[in-house]
A and B are shown apart, each in its own frame.
Chain A
Amino acid sequence: MDGSLFIQYFVSGLTYGSIYAAVAIGFNIIYNATGIINFAQGEFAMLGGMIASSLARSCPLWLAIAAAVVATAVVGVAIERLLLRRVSRFGVLKMIIATIGISIVLRELALAAWGESVRTVPFFTGNEVSSISFLGANFSPQVLWIVGAIALVAVALTLYFKLTLTGKAMRGCSASRDGASLCGISPGRMVAIAFGMSAAIGAFAGCVVAPLTQTHYAIGSTLSVKGFTVAAFGGLGNSVAAIAAGFLLGMLESFSIVVVPEAYKDVVTIVVLLTVLVAKPTGLFGSRAAGALKEY
C-alpha cells in the first residue's frame, strides 16, 4: 500500500470513527443515568440528519442544524417521559424490547415523512468537489468539520460533567441513585436530561456527517450496532475510551477493505463486537474499577 492510499483509508476511518464515537457517547450517557442500553440510539442520528436536510432548503444551515438538534432532543425527552418511564419497573428484557420497538417506530415514521430517497445536508464549506490535498491524498474539508465537531462535543461534555452543578448532579445520580435523591437531586429529572443530551449529541453527529455519508431512513439500526460495539469496545459507560475505540473501529473497518471485499465491511465490525463481548466484556480500556466509577 502506498502512502497516499494509506492516508485516504486513514481519513475514511477517521470520518466513520467519529460518528461511531458520537453514537457510543450517546449510549454511555443514558447507560450511566439509567443502567439501560437505548437501542433507538442510532435513530437519533438519523432523525438529526433528516430534519436538517429538510430545513436547510429554506433557512441557513446553522439554523437548520440547531433546530434539528433541539427537535431530536425533544423527541428523546418525550420517549423517556411518555414511554420508558412506565416500563422501567419491569426489568432489562422488557426495556430492551421496548427500546427496540421505539427504534422501529421512529424508523417507520421517518419513512412515512421522508420516503425512501437518500438525502443529504449541504457541505459546511465548499461543495462535494472541493478537496484538501495532504501528502498526495485528497479528502473533503468536511472531514475536518466532523473531527472538530466530535472533539468539541467531547470537550464540552467533560467540562459539563466536571464544572456545572447539573453535570455533577448527574454523576452523583449515576454513582448512587438513592444517595443523590437524599441530597435533593431528582433522579427522574437527571434521566430526562440524559435522554435529551444523548438525543442532541446523536442528532448533531448525524447532521455533521450527513454531507459526506448521506442519510436515509434506515441507517439507524446499523449505527446502533456499531455505536454499541464502540461503547462495549471502550468499556460501557466510559466515554473518553469510546472516542478512542470509535477511531480504532473506524480504522479497522476502513483498512479491512484491503483484505475483505467491501460487501463484508459490516461483518468485520460485528465480528469485533462478538469477540470483545465474549473475550473482554469490560472493554479494552475499561477495567472493572473504572466501570464501577461510571464517571463520564
Chain B
Amino acid sequence: MRRYLPAAAIAVLAFALPPLAAATKTAYLLTQLTMSAYYVLASLGLCALMGYAGQINMGQAGFFAIGGYASAFISKLNLASRAASPFVAALDFLGLVSRGTDSYGNAYLSPSPALACLCAILLAVGVAALIGTPVLRLRGHYLAMATLGFGIVIEKIARGTNALGGADGLSSVPAFALPGGLEITGGRAARSANFTISWVVLALGLLLLVNLIGSRSGRALRALHDGEEAADAMGVDTARYKLKVFVLGAAYAALAGVLLTHYNGSIGPGEAAFMKSVRYVAIVAVGGMANLTGVLVSGLVLNFLSLRGVFGSFDDAVFGAILIAVMLIGPAGRGLAARLRPRGASAAASSAAASAAPKRGGSP
C-alpha cells in the first residue's frame, strides 16, 4: 500500500489546497501550481523511460508540443462551411463538435477539445511508435543525439509553418469542457477548479505508472535497465518493452501538452525547444532517476520556483547547473533523493531489481 501513498497525497492536496490558499489569500499561487502539475506529468513519463528502462530521450518537449499544437489546431478548425458533409454530420451526431459565434459574430463549428485531445494523443503515440522503432535500436550517445534531433525538428517545423502560427504559435485556444460543467481554461473564476483538475490528473498519471512499475512489465523494464543482454537472455522482449515505455512517455507528454495548452489558451514553438527537454531530464535526474516520488517532488518544486520567476534571468542556467551538480554529487550519480533515503532501503531496492527478471514462455 505504501507505494500508493504519494498518489493519494497528491489527490488529497488537489482538494485541500484551494480552500487553504483562499484562506491565506494566496490563491494566485494556484496558477503556477496548475502549470507545474502538467509539466510534472511530462517528467513522470520521461522518468519511466530514463529511470526504469535506462533509455534517454532528449526530445520529450517535442512530444509535449505535438500534443499541444495538434489539440490547439484541431479545436480551432472551423468546419461551418462543411457542416453538410457526412463526416461533420457524424461528428455532430456523436456530440464531438462545439458551435457558437466568434468575437466577430461569425458562426463557427469546431471539433470539440475532447476529440482534439484524443487525436493529439493518437498523433503523438503514432509519431513515437514510428520514430521509436528505429531510434531505440541506438544506444547511449546516438540515442541522445537522435532524440535531441527529433525535438529540434518539431521546433523548427512549428516555427516555420504558417498554419501553426510561426514564431507566435497558436492562441485563442478554446476551453476544454469536461463532464460536470467543469472546463480547462485560464481566468480567475476557474482557477481553483483547474488546480484540482490538474492535480487529480497528476495523481491518476502517477497511479498508473506506480502500478506499471510494480507489475511484471515494470520488473522487465528494470531488468532491461540493469543489463540489456541479460534481460534479453532471460526472455524479455527488450525491443518491445523499450518501445512501449517510450510511447507511453510520449503519451504522457502529449496529454500534458494538450491540457496545458487549453489551460493557457495558447502554445508557442518555445515549448518544443531543446531547453525544455533539458528541463524534463534535469527534473528526472534530481528526482533520482528511478524514483517516481522523487521526480514528483523535484518537478513540482523546480517548476513552481521557475514559473514564479525565483531564478530570474538565470532560469535556464539553474537547470544546467543542476544537471552538472547531480552528476557530480550522486554516489553512483543516483540523484539527491537517493542520497537522502536510508541506506538499507536503497540496497533492498537494488537487490529486488536484480532478482526480478521475469521468465517467459518456459512453461509447457
Residues of A within 8 A of B (CB): 36-37, 39, 83, 86-87, 90-98, 100-105, 107-109, 111-112, 221-222, 225, 228-229, 232, 261, 263-264, 266-267, 270-271, 273-274, 277-278, 281
B145-A87 in contact (CB<8A): no
Query: Which residues of chain A have C-beta atoms less than 8 A from B212's C-beta?
Result: none
B141-A96 in contact (CB<8A): yes
Is B74 an interface position by the 8 A CB rule? no
A97-B149 in contact (CB<8A): no
Count of chain B residues with a beta carbon within 8 Å of a chain A beta carbon = 48
A278-B332 in contact (CB<8A): no
Query: Which residues of chain B have C-beta atoms less than 8 A from A111's C-beta?
Result: 313
Shortest C-beta distance, A108 to chain B (Å), equals 3
Q: If the complex has contacts A96-B141, A277-B142, A278-B137, are A266 and B156 also in contact, measured as CB distance less than 8 A?
A: yes
> Which residue of B is nearest A27, CB measured?
B141
5 A-B residue pairings within 8 Å (CB atoms)? A37-B145, A97-B327, A100-B278, A225-B148, A277-B142
Query: Which residues of chain A have C-beta atoms less than 8 A from B274's C-beta?
Result: 221
Query: Which residues of chain B have C-beta atoms less than 8 A from A96's C-beta?
Result: 56, 140-141, 144
Query: Which residues of chain B have C-beta atoms less than 8 A from A274's C-beta?
Result: 131, 134-135, 146, 149-150
Interface string of B149-190 (1 = CB under 8 A from A): 110110011011100000000000000000000000000000
A267-B145 in contact (CB<8A): no
Q: Which of B65-112 contact A (CB under 8 A)?
A: none
Shortest C-beta distance, B61 to chain A (Å), equals 13
Is B138 an interface position by the 8 A CB rule? yes
Please tell me which one of the listed residues A37, A98, A281 contacts residue B323 in the complex, with CB atoms under 8 A apart: A98
Query: Which residues of chain A have C-beta atoms less than 8 A from B327's C-beta?
Result: 87, 90, 94-95, 97-98, 101
Please tell me which one of the listed residues A98, A263, A270 contacts residue B152 in the complex, with CB atoms under 8 A apart: A270
In the assembly, what is the distance between CA of A214 and CA of B131, in Å?
Answer: 34
A101-B323 in contact (CB<8A): yes
B141-A102 in contact (CB<8A): no
Residues of B within 8 A of A (CB): 50, 54, 56, 58, 131, 134-135, 137-142, 144-146, 148-150, 152-153, 156-157, 159-161, 274-275, 278, 281-282, 285, 313-314, 316-317, 319-324, 326-328, 330, 332-333
Please tell me which one of the listed residues B145, B319, B326 contacts residue A104 in the complex, with CB atoms under 8 A apart: B319
Q: If the complex has contacts A36-B141, A92-B141, A93-B54, are A267 and B275 also in contact, measured as CB distance less than 8 A?
A: no
Please tell me which one of the listed residues B146, B159, B317, B328 contacts residue A108 in the complex, with CB atoms under 8 A apart: B317
> Which residue of A is nearest B284, CB measured?
A97
In the assembly, what is the distance between CA of A226 and CA of B134, in Å?
Answer: 20
Shortest C-beta distance, B164 to chain A (Å), equals 11
In the assembly, what is the distance between CA of A96 and CA of B134, in Å?
Answer: 21
B316-A277 in contact (CB<8A): no
Query: Which residues of chain A have C-beta atoms less than 8 A from B56's C-beta?
Result: 93, 96-97
Interface secondary structure of A, over-half rule: helix
* Interface core residue of A94, A103, A225 (most chain B CB under 10 Å): A94
Q: If the complex has contacts A225-B145, A225-B148, are A94 and B333 also in contact, measured as CB distance less than 8 A?
A: yes
A222-B281 in contact (CB<8A): no
A104-B275 in contact (CB<8A): yes
In the assembly, what is the distance between CA of A292 and CA of B31, in Å?
Answer: 54
A225-B149 in contact (CB<8A): yes
A101-B157 in contact (CB<8A): no
> Which residue of B is nearest A96, CB measured?
B144
In the assembly, what is the distance between CA of A225 and CA of B316, in Å?
Answer: 19
Shortest C-beta distance, A20 to chain B (Å), equals 14
Query: Which residues of chain B have C-beta atoms less than 8 A from A102's C-beta?
Result: 320, 324
* Interface core residue of B139, B160, B321 (most chain A CB under 10 Å): B160
* Interface core residue of B50, B137, B146, B281 (most chain A CB under 10 Å): B146
B145-A228 in contact (CB<8A): yes
Query: Which residues of chain B have C-beta atoms less than 8 A from A104's C-beta?
Result: 275, 278, 316-317, 319-320, 323
In the assembly, what is the distance between CA of A251 and CA of B129, in Å?
Answer: 31
In the assembly, what is the distance between CA of A86 and CA of B316, in Å?
Answer: 23
A281-B138 in contact (CB<8A): yes
Please tell me which one of the listed residues A90, A100, A263, A270 contacts residue B159 in the complex, with CB atoms under 8 A apart: A263
Q: If the complex has contacts A92-B140, A97-B323, are A222 and B317 also in contact, measured as CB distance less than 8 A?
A: no
In the assembly, what is the distance between CA of A92 and CA of B328, in Å?
Answer: 14
Query: Which residues of chain A have C-beta atoms less than 8 A from B148's C-beta?
Result: 225
Query: Which residues of chain B have C-beta atoms less than 8 A from A261's C-beta?
Result: 160
Shortest C-beta distance, B49 to chain A (Å), equals 12
Q: If the complex has contacts A97-B281, A263-B159, A270-B150, are A105 and B320 also in contact, measured as CB distance less than 8 A?
A: yes
A273-B145 in contact (CB<8A): yes
9 closest pairs, A vs B, by CB?
A104-B320, A263-B160, A101-B323, A108-B317, A101-B324, A90-B333, A278-B134, A37-B141, A270-B149
In the assembly, what is the distance between CA of A93 and CA of B50, in Å?
Answer: 9
> Which residue of B is nearest A92, CB measured?
B140
In the assembly, what is the distance between CA of A45 and CA of B361, in Å?
Answer: 54
B281-A277 in contact (CB<8A): no
A90-B332 in contact (CB<8A): yes
Q: If the complex has contacts A264-B160, A273-B149, A274-B135, are A232 and B142 also in contact, measured as CB distance less than 8 A?
A: yes
A108-B316 in contact (CB<8A): yes
Query: Which residues of chain A have C-beta atoms less than 8 A from B278's C-beta?
Result: 100, 104
> Which residue of B is nearest A263, CB measured?
B160
In the assembly, what is the distance between CA of A39 and CA of B161, in Å?
Answer: 28
| Contacts A87-B328, A100-B58 supplied; 19 other A-B pairs, CB < 8 Å | A36-B141, A37-B141, A90-B327, A93-B50, A94-B327, A95-B327, A96-B140, A96-B144, A98-B328, A104-B275, A104-B278, A105-B320, A111-B313, A263-B159, A264-B157, A266-B153, A267-B153, A278-B134, A278-B137
A86-B328 in contact (CB<8A): yes
Query: Which residues of chain A have C-beta atoms less than 8 A from B141's C-beta?
Result: 36-37, 92, 96
B314-A278 in contact (CB<8A): no
In the assembly, what is the distance between CA of A103 and CA of B317, in Å?
Answer: 10
